[in-house]
Amino acid sequence: MTLIKQDDVIKSITDALQFISYYHPVDYIQALGQAYEQEQSASAKDAIAQILYNSRLCAEGHRPICQDTGIVVVFLEIGMDIQWQGSMSLEEMINEGVHLAYTHPDNILRASVLADPAGARKNTRDNTPAVIHSKIVRGNTVKVKLAAKGGGSENKAKFAALNPSADIVAWITNAVSSMGAGWCPPGIMGIGIGGTPEKAMLLAKESLLEPVNIQQLMEQNKQGQILSRTQELRLELYEKINALGIGAQGLGGLTTVVDVKVLDYPTHAASLPVAIIPNCAATRHTHFTLDGSGPAVLTAPKLEDWPDVTWSASPKARRVNLDTITKEDMHSWQPGEQLLLNGKLLTGRDAAHKRIVDTLARGESLPEGVDFNNRFIYYVGPVDAVNNEAVGPAGPTTSTRMDQYTETMLADTGLIGMIGKAERGAGAIEAIKKHKAVYLIAVGGAAYLISKAIEKSTIIAYPELGMEAIYEFEVKDMPVTVGVDVHGESVHLSGPKKWSKLIRR
Ligand code: SF4
């Protein structure tokens, strides 16, 4: 019988969550390094370079890889020969660990979890509760697999109860093609097949915690080794998903996924449940075992393990002064062109947009200091600053969630540009074209690097919304790419189209 102490569980969870907030798994980062070497699309290569450089900065600075520090997901395998020492339930221990990790003063993480999701959506302020899955198994240890999943990638999860004769590969490839880039590729696609609907989703999630090793599997296949059906599926899906040409950040390119993982389980004769969950550029997970000898010991990766890639802005990048810009200045900007933003911009995401649009609908004025005339808005919910930072990691959030507000924002507030990540929907593109506005993208998964370009941050309105408040940022050479130009040309439509053709040639 092994005695597991409450304090060891709490400390292990806290340490592991801090660890994965700033250390990418080495297998992912090395696979991304290979993707960088192979990439031929200039925009996608630049985006991968930003993700890799950001990753190294985070490992060195112990600050989060992404402003979305995720919702905590824990898989437990609890040995039957375990005794617990302490007064808390296991769930309470884990949530105490989450609380301590997310409020850690040296590396405060963003609290993104909201209680009452269909109602008040109130932030729990410490990212609790975690989502916990446990299994009782033989043995006398507790095995823990823990991940922090970003909302952008979780939101792209798909499920279907397919007809048993359906073409699984065709369904998955179509589903990935419809996901857009809000899940911040390049990443990993997790597939769960079989069981029941909820089992398939769990398999898809758990598959993402396996090592990145598709290159080894390709080698085994080349050498003629006999593969299982799930291994064959991995190879076929890897090739077909990358052939979609989505590329890094959806800009069009060779690598959309660095691996595809598949787990399966027996299912009912009438059923073929299939689930997909992507893992994004902020792939974060670690594993440890508690055996009664104390808290988990996590070994930090060596900086030599990171690909030797640094990022600097292209010498051709156009510098833009946000304080003097007019709509006319934006006419010559091309989709895919890199810009370096300087001056002041406002921030706002879901909750702030809703309040703004509701305020305007009531015929009331926006809060003092909120003036969007001739200005840009950045869709971001930053991490709180520590030490002498102006702001913590501050990468973009998925823009499509703001599509419903775009026409009102452009027509009624004087706003001329937006910055976010991934594609815009048809309605938002129409509004951009109609108002001769622009949409720019920053790289999702490069949040700490982007925060280095933010010199000052002031809360202007709605402080009670926490990270969703409206801030004014003063930026210096903040790197962005033109996503939709004043004519409504979208790089997320033209890029993947061009690269899927080139790949299939
Ligand atoms: S990389 Fe993208 S999807 Fe992943 S956590 Fe960050 S913003 Fe969200």
Q: Compute, in angstroms, the gap from residue 89 CA to the centroid of ligand 1.
A: 31
Does the C-beta of 450 come closer than 6 Å to ligand 1? no
Does the C-beta of 277 come closer than 6 Å to ligand 1? no
pTM above 0.85, yes or no: yes
Mean pLDDT score across all residues of the chain: 97
Nearest atom, ligand 1, residue 69 CA: 5
Ligand 1, atom 1: nearest CA belongs to which residue? 445
- By residue count, the chain amounts to 505
Cα dist from 503 to 238, 251, 500, whole Å: 13, 14, 5
- Percent of the chain whose pLDDT exceeds 90: 99
Which of 54, 68, 208 gets mutated to test ligand 1 (max ligand atoms within 8 A of its CB)? Answer: 68
Say what the pLDDT of residue 484 is.
Answer: 98
The 10s digit of each residue's pLDDT in 8-44 is: 999 999 999 999 999 999 999 999 999 999 999 999 9
Q: Compute, in angstroms, the gap from residue 257 CA to the centroid of ligand 1.
A: 15
Say what the pLDDT of residue 436 is.
Answer: 98
Does the C-beta of 66 come closer than 6 Å to ligand 1? yes
- Between CA 286 and CA 392 the distance in angstroms is 23
Which of 71, 153, 189, 441 gets mutated to test ligand 1 (max ligand atoms within 8 A of its CB)? Answer: 153
Tokens of 219: 């080698």
Does the C-beta of 247 come closer than 6 Å to ligand 1? no
Q: Compute, in angstroms, the gap from residue 21 CA to the centroid of ligand 1.
A: 12
Does the C-beta of 54 come closer than 6 Å to ligand 1? no
Say what the pLDDT of residue 44 is.
Answer: 96
- Between CA 426 and CA 438 the distance in angstroms is 14
Does the C-beta of 444 come closer than 6 Å to ligand 1? yes
Say what the pLDDT of residue 505 is.
Answer: 84
Does the C-beta of 282 come closer than 6 Å to ligand 1? yes
Q: Compute, in angstroms, the gap from residue 331 CA to the centroid of ligand 1.
A: 31
The 10s digit of each residue's pLDDT in 226-261 is: 999 999 999 999 999 999 999 999 999 999 999 999
Any idea what DSSP says for residue 301?
A: P
Verify cis geometry, omega within 30 degrees of 0, for the bond prior to 164: no
| Rg for the chain, CA atoms, rounded | 23
Q: Compute, in angstroms, the gap from residue 85 CA to the centroid of ligand 1.
A: 37
Q: Compute, in angstroms, the gap from residue 158 CA to the centroid of ligand 1.
A: 17
Q: Compute, in angstroms, the gap from residue 56 CA to the centroid of ligand 1.
A: 17
Tokens of 361: 């609908």
Q: Compute, in angstroms, the gap from residue 180 CA to the centroid of ligand 1.
A: 13
Ligand 1, atom 5: nearest CA belongs to which residue? 150
Pseudo-torsion of CA 394, 182, 345, 448, nearest 10°? 20
Does the C-beta of 486 come closer than 6 Å to ligand 1? no
Averaged pLDDT, groups of 10, the chain, 505 residues long? 97 98 98 98 96 98 96 98 97 98 96 96 95 98 98 97 98 97 98 98 98 98 97 98 98 98 98 98 98 97 95 94 96 96 98 97 95 97 95 97 98 98 97 98 97 98 94 98 98 97 93
Does the C-beta of 395 come closer than 6 Å to ligand 1? yes
The 10s digit of each residue's pLDDT in 407-466 is: 999 999 999 999 999 999 999 999 999 999 999 999 999 999 999 999 999 999 999 998
Helix axes 491-504, 42-61, angle to 10 degrees: 110
Cα dist from 125 to 111, 115, 209, 405, 443, whole Å: 5, 10, 27, 27, 26
Tokens of 131: 């989502």
In contact, 311 and 49? CB cutoff 8 Å: yes
Q: Compute, in angstroms, the gap from residue 476 CA to the centroid of ligand 1.
A: 23
Nearest atom, ligand 1, residue 398 CA: 7
